Amino acid sequence: MKALLEVRRVSKKYGNGSTALSDVSFSIQEGEFVSIIGPSGAGKSTLLRCINRMIEVSSGEVVFQNVNVTKLGKKQLKQVRRTIGMIFQHYNLVNRLSVIENVLHGRLGYKSTLAGMLGLYNEEEKKKAVEILAMLGLQDQIYKRADQLSGGQKQRVGIARALVQEPKLLLCDEPIASLDPNASKTIMDYLKTISTTLGITVLVNLHQVDVALKYSDRIIGVNKGRIIYDGVPREMTSDMIHNIYGSETGDLLFDLGGENAG
């Protein structure tokens, strides 16, 4: 295995002076399913967004497929972003557009601004979008408006939009935080299948430690902008969970069982 992504000594200080990340380093191997866990405000979103430069780092480097992303100009950054799909807590769909139109937005990184504005997608792109929607169980929703879907269905559209990009890496920012337990399980199962069958590397921010323990190859625990755990789920102790979550731990250990309990 080789490193797909390397985050090297990344720090982020926002304009208002708050430090969101302090000297964060880790690397992700191709094909890994990695969860980032931590309490509210730990810096999980900031970290994910620094990877594709939705947010600029204050110092440090992000290296993706051996390219230093932090140094890229606009055009090269667009090329790199094609291969990094992003999934959001609130789905970020265009409500008045159909499911398939939302999914095809995942192809915008491959087009000129004009072709994108005119919605010029070729037959191959449309066929691919339909195939992905079918894989995600949305074959009957293709022409519905996005705002007619349930939360779980909207998130599957979000996943389809990311997959149509043909990504190497999926960044998922709290993908299940707005969903009920059933829909959450469906989404996590799809993400896991995408990682195992399509070989796409998945990096997911999660609030729920039990979900992270169940699905991940590896867990990165963040507290106050620093990594305080980086290892496999079975070595995660309840002491460590306490260290990561601090006073929020009470709510989160509820579903914990087996070797990580006690």
Ligand X SMILES: Nc1ncnc2c1ncn2[C@@H]1O[C@H](COP(=O)(O)OP(=O)(O)OP(=O)(O)O)[C@@H](O)[C@H]1O
What is the contact mask toward ligand X in residues 200 to 229, using x (rule: CB under 6 A)? -------x----------------------
Q: How far apart are CA 181 and CA 187, in angstroms?
A: 10
Q: How far is the CB of 182 from ligand X (least distance, A)?
A: 22
* Residue 20 within binding range of ligand X, rule CB under 6 A: yes
Q: How far apart are CA 227 and CA 25, in angstroms?
A: 8
Please choose, from the candidates 23, 93, 76, 10, the residue with its C-alpha nearest in 3D space to the C-alpha of residue 49: 10
* CB distance 204 to 221 below 8 Å: no
Q: Which is nearer to ligand X, 201 or 205 (CB)?
A: 205
* Residue 247 within binding range of ligand X, rule CB under 6 A: no
Report how far Cα 194 is from the mean position of its chain's Cα atoms: 12
Q: How far is the CB of 216 from ligand X (least distance, A)?
A: 17
Sheet containing strand 59-64, strands side by side: 19-29, 3-13, 59-64, 67-68
* CB distance 152 to 182 below 8 Å: yes
* Residue 23 within binding range of ligand X, rule CB under 6 A: no
Q: How far is the CB of 174 from ligand X (least distance, A)?
A: 6
Q: How far is the CB of 234 from ligand X (least distance, A)?
A: 24
* Residue 41 within binding range of ligand X, rule CB under 6 A: yes
Strands 33-37 and 201-206: what pairing? parallel
* Residue 137 within binding range of ligand X, rule CB under 6 A: no
Rg, Å, the chain Cα set:
18
Q: Which is nearer to ligand X, 132 or 188 (CB)?
A: 188
Give residue 216's identity as a one-letter amino acid code.
S
Q: How far is the CB of 218 from ligand X (least distance, A)?
A: 18
What is the contact mask toward ligand X in residues 168 to 207, using x (rule: CB under 6 A)? ---------------------------------------x
Q: Which of 4, 10, 33, 38 is in the footprint of ligand X by CB under 6 A? A: 38
Give the SS3 label for residue 226.
Answer: strand
Q: Which is nearer to ligand X, 131 or 210 (CB)?
A: 210
Beta strands in the chain (DSSP E): 3-13, 19-29, 33-37, 59-64, 67-68, 84-87, 169-173, 201-206, 218-223, 226-231
Q: Give the residue ranges of DSSP H helices in 58-175.
A: 74-82, 99-104, 113-117, 123-135, 151-163
Instruction: Select the span of 11-19, 95-103, 213-221, 236-244 touching ligand X (CB under 6 A).
Output: 11-19
* Residue 42 within binding range of ligand X, rule CB under 6 A: yes
Instruction: Select the span of 14-22, 73-81, 194-202, 233-241 touching ligand X (CB under 6 A).
Output: 14-22
* Residue 70 within binding range of ligand X, rule CB under 6 A: no
Binding site for ligand X (CB under 6 A): 14, 16, 18, 20, 38, 40-46, 207
